[in-house]
Amino acid sequence: MTTTTRRGAGTEAGTGPGAPAGTAPAAPATAPAGTAPGAARRPGTVARAAAGGSEIRRHELAAFLRSRRERITPEQVGLPRGARRRTPGLRREEVAHLSAVGVTWYTWLEQARDIQVSVQVLDALARALLLDPSERAHLFQLAAATDPTPASSCTGVTDAVRELLDQLDPLPACVQNSRYDILAYNRTYAHLLCDLDAIPAEDRNCMILIHTDPQWREAVVHLDESMRLMAAKLRASMAGHLTEPAWKMLVGRLKAESPEFRENWERYEVVANRSKTKQFRNARVGLLNLTHTDLWLSPELGARMVTYAPADATTRERLEKLYALALELPSPGTAGSGLRR
């Protein structure tokens, strides 16, 4: 996906050593080296071992961040190189700016200070440092945090559901959660609005794609109406998830990257999920008129299977053609299957 928009963690750059909203950094440790705050008051080898392990983890995290920062050129993230650059890769203040955290706070992180790091900040750092999925997982593991994005896990999609998705081809179908993360999809859906296999797993989210991905946006015939409707649906769904990090990360990212989302979000409109006919402009087969239906996979209205049935004979023929074209393309998904995970 091609976008030059900076991704932040929900705070403004240059705001000092504070972490993002809702996360206050602890004061730098003043206990002796190898001892976490309060450990000296907890006698016993278990406390000392835990403190030593925590310090080792912080130093590994600091070294990893430095190594990733030094390998990225300013040009890779859209920054000017300048004539007097002596630092290999990016400067600390540049990483802080790209991640929307304070420079002092990020410096403390690279110095292995004992400060708290929220999942929002870890997500922003992973994006700013262009980490691949393995590096992202390593970052969260070093920080002793759980990655809330769908890239880290794909729960709720059973083998039976994947088989059903496969059998629905050439009808486009996918499984989404209430946050619009795309958890699984079949071959036709993979090429319905963009080349979904080429999108990083953490970016496979309908809200993100309709607001930031040029190919996806070009395929949606009624783009402005769709963006407003989806913002209203997201606000309705979020009522039960207001304190969950993954939801706050999604809204924060959309606000940072999309003026259209910010405008629609401030309308405070809410809309329940409903079936409707949608029009997509596919680059390979042309205009598609599709009837959208949600099939709920759990009683608490969490994951759902999203299906698109042809609304006319021409669309049915074009879906069959799209599926035939998809079969000819390389499949980076599950070996021997049209399923993507």
Q: Kindly tell me if the per-residue pLDDT of 242 is higher than 50.
A: yes
Q: What is the mean pLDDT of residues 147-167?
A: 77
Integer Cα distance of 262 and 124 in angstroms: 19
Give the model's pLDDT for residue 81: 79
Which two structure tokens, joined as six digits, stand for 177?
Answer: 């959660």
The top-scoring range by mean pLDDT among 23-37, 238-252, 255-269 is: 255-269
What letter would DSSP give residue 205?
B
**Residue 214 CB-density burial (10 A; 0-12 exposed, 13-18 middle, 19+ buried):** exposed
Rounded mean pLDDT of the chain?
Answer: 81
Regarding pTM above 0.75, the answer is no
- pLDDT band, residue 119 (cuts 50/70/90): confident
Integer Cα distance of 47 and 33 in angstroms: 14
Q: Kindly tell me if the per-residue pLDDT of 198 is higher than 50.
A: yes
Residue bearing the bigger pLDDT, 29 or 294: 294
**Residue 173 CB-density burial (10 A; 0-12 exposed, 13-18 middle, 19+ buried):** buried
Model confidence over 46-67: pLDDT tens digits?
A: 455 556 668 888 999 999 999 9
Give the model's pLDDT for residue 331: 59
Give the model's pLDDT for residue 218: 98
Q: In this structure, how many other beta carbons lie within 10 angstroms of the beta carbon of residue 306?
A: 19
Integer Cα distance of 263 and 250 in angstroms: 16
Give the model's pLDDT for residue 3: 42
Give the model's pLDDT for residue 246: 85
Give the model's pLDDT for residue 245: 83
28-32, 128-132, 281-285: least confident range: 28-32
Q: Kindly tell me if the per-residue pLDDT of 6 is higher than 70.
A: no
Residue 310's SS3 state is strand
The CA-based angle 277-267-252, given to 5 degrees, is 95
Q: Which residues of 50-81 are buried (b: 16+ CB within 10 A; e: fewer)?
A: ebeebbeebeebbebbeebbeebebeebebee
Percent of the chain's residues with pLDDT above 90:
49
Model confidence over 283-317: pLDDT tens digits?
A: 999 999 999 999 988 766 578 999 999 999 999 99
Q: What is the mean pLDDT of residues 111-115?
A: 90
Question: Which residue from 204, 173, 190 is spatially nearest to 334, judged by alpha carbons?
Answer: 190
CA 163 and chain centroid, separation:
26
56-60, 87-91, 235-239: least confident range: 87-91
204-213, 226-235, 268-277: least confident range: 268-277
Give the model's pLDDT for residue 44: 53
**Is beta strand 173-176 parallel, antiparallel or unpaired with respect to 304-310?**
antiparallel
Distances (CA, A) of 227 to 202, 236, 241, 291: 20, 14, 21, 18
Handedness of CA 201, 207, 212, 217 (dihedral sign): positive
Which two structure tokens, joined as six digits, stand for 262?
Answer: 């910010």
Model confidence over 12-27: pLDDT tens digits?
A: 333 344 444 334 444 4
28-37, 104-113, 204-213, 241-250: least confident range: 28-37
Q: Kindly tell me if the per-residue pLDDT of 30 is higher than 70.
A: no
Q: Kindly tell me if the per-residue pLDDT of 36 is higher than 50.
A: no
Q: Kindly tell me if the per-residue pLDDT of 223 is higher than 90.
A: yes
Give the model's pLDDT for residue 162: 93
Which two structure tokens, joined as six digits, stand for 47?
Answer: 């406390």
Q: In this structure, how many other beta carbons lie within 10 angstroms of the beta carbon of residue 267?
A: 11
Percent of the chain's residues with pLDDT above 70:
78
Full strand arrangement of the beta sheet holding 286-296: 182-185, 173-176, 304-310, 286-296, 276-282
